[in-house]
Structure 1
Amino acid sequence: MNAVPALYACTISHVRTTPRRYALRHRTYMWLIDPDHPPQLPRALRPLARFDPRDHFTGDRQSVRAGLDAFLAGHGVHLDGGRVVMLTHARVLGYVFNPLTLYWCYGPDGEPRCVVAEVHNTYGGRHCYLLHPDASGTARAEKKLYVSPFFPVDGGYRMRLPPPGPQLALTVHLDREGGRAFTATVRGTRREASTARLLRLALRHPWSTLAVSAAIRVHGIRLYLRGLPVQPRTDDHRAPENVT
């Protein structure tokens, strides 16, 4: 298994194909960590990377791992102490927005048991998908969370989520009646999680998670001004408030 913690300098791409084609790209960075042993940063750097259990699952567990184990137990899955590798954005300067956090879950023998995809929207909602990828790392799931104001909660995801290695290569397709509506990709290169590397990435991408959230809203406004109809939000996947 890959050593953690690690950092990935990433390019995130979104391509919308219906009802009007629209594409965007955004550069950022993500952490790969063991939630049982999150990075211990020097005191001066801690505001640049905080991994808070309030930001994941129900938000009321003592640790991220406890939240994950409770979610899995609710679906009849037990890791029996096996290792978990988590890909996520950290809370930076008191703010976090995680469109997608992934957990690769292993049994005590090191064999993969499942993947959990935790999706957050810009309305404060979150939903977790329990996945059992095939040998290629591909899994499917019915869409359950309102994410984009221009898509209703229908259709299904086809996700290709191979475990991160020297390169990160993730793909999420949204398929609706009539064909593929949306594709998101995350491509990244693994870097050592050193103090110098974190400082360089933080300077290159200041307020990184706030920038992601702001970019989503800006592109949403552009699509609205181009005439895309807004779909009513009917689901109720509210998460606890993410306060500093």
Structure 2
Amino acid sequence: MTPVPALYPCTITHVRTAPTRYALRHRTYMWLVDIDQPPELPLPLRPLARFDPRDHFAGDGRSVRAGLEEFLAAHGVRAPGGPVLMLTHARVLGHVFNPLTLYWCHDPDGVPRHVVAEVHNTYGQRHSYLLRPNPSGTAHVDKEFYVSPFFPVDGRYRMRLPAPDRRLDLTVHLERDGGRPFTATVRGARREVTRTEVLRQALRHPWSTAVVSAAIRLHGIRLLLRGLPVQPRPARPSTPTRTTEESVR
């Protein structure tokens, strides 16, 4: 397994091919951490990276592992018992928005067993998918969660999610009616977690998660102005995420 913690400066791309073609590209950075031993930075740097269990799964403040194990049990899967590596955005200056958090689950011998993909949308909801990738790191799962307002909740995801090592290389395709109207990629290179590197990334990408959230909304407005129709958001139960104001109380 990759030594953790690690930083991954990365480029995120979204390419939409139907019903209209549109692409966006965004640079940011993500953390790879052991959920049982998240990094604790020196006091002056802690506002730049905080890992709060309330940002994941049920959001009830229990440990990330407790939330993960509850999710797995609900799907009839035994807790992995070994290390779990989480790729995520940390809270920066009290704010976080995680479009996608990934958990690579291992047994006590370090053998990979499954991957959990936790998706957050801009409506304050989150949903998790249980994946069993093949040896190449690829898995398929039915779409069950409203993410983009321009796609209904149908189709199927094809995800290629190899565990990060020296490189981070993730791909998510949305497949509908035999086509792929949407593809997202995350690509980057591993960096050691040092005080200098944390500060460098924070200066290069200030308010990184707030910028991600704002960029998603900006591109949504551009698509609206192009006349792309909005798909109704289904009324369904989901786990609410905390707002920025709640996070700093």
**Shorter-chain TM-score: what band?**
over 0.9
What number of residue pairs does the alignment pair up? 244
Indicate the SS of the match to 1:146.
Answer: coil
The aligned runs of 1:36-185 (5 Å cut-off) are 36-185=36-185
Alpha-carbon offset, residue 178 of structure 1: 4.3
**1:164-195 deviation digits (Å, cap 9, x = unpaired):** 01000000000011411100000010000111
Determine the C-alpha separation between the residues in 2 that align with 1:29 and 1:144: 27
**1:143-178 deviation digits (Å, cap 9, x = unpaired):** 011100100000010000001010000000000114
**1:40-88 deviation digits (Å, cap 9, x = unpaired):** 1111111111111111001114211111111112112223521100000
Determine the C-alpha separation between the residues in 1 that align with 2:146 and 2:215: 18
Q: Is the 8 A contact 2:15 2:183 kept in 1?
A: yes
Partner residue, 2:242: 241
Determine the C-alpha separation between the residues in 2 that align with 1:37 and 1:174: 33
Determine the C-alpha separation between the residues in 1 that align with 2:202 and 2:31: 12
AA at the equivalent of 1:89: H
Q: Is the 8 A contact 1:137 1:160 kept in 2?
A: yes
Determine the C-alpha separation between the residues in 1 that align with 2:112 and 2:198: 29
Indicate the SS of the match to 1:12.
Answer: strand
Q: Is the 8 A contact 1:157 1:173 kept in 2?
A: yes
Determine the C-alpha separation between the residues in 2 that align with 1:238 and 1:6: 28
Determine the C-alpha separation between the residues in 1 that align with 2:242 and 2:213: 16
Q: TM-score, normalised by structure 1?
A: 0.98
Indicate the percent of aligned positions where both proteins have the same amino acid: 71
Q: Is the 8 A contact 2:172 2:185 kept in 1?
A: yes
Unaligned runs of 5+ in 1: none
Q: CA RMSD in A?
A: 1.0
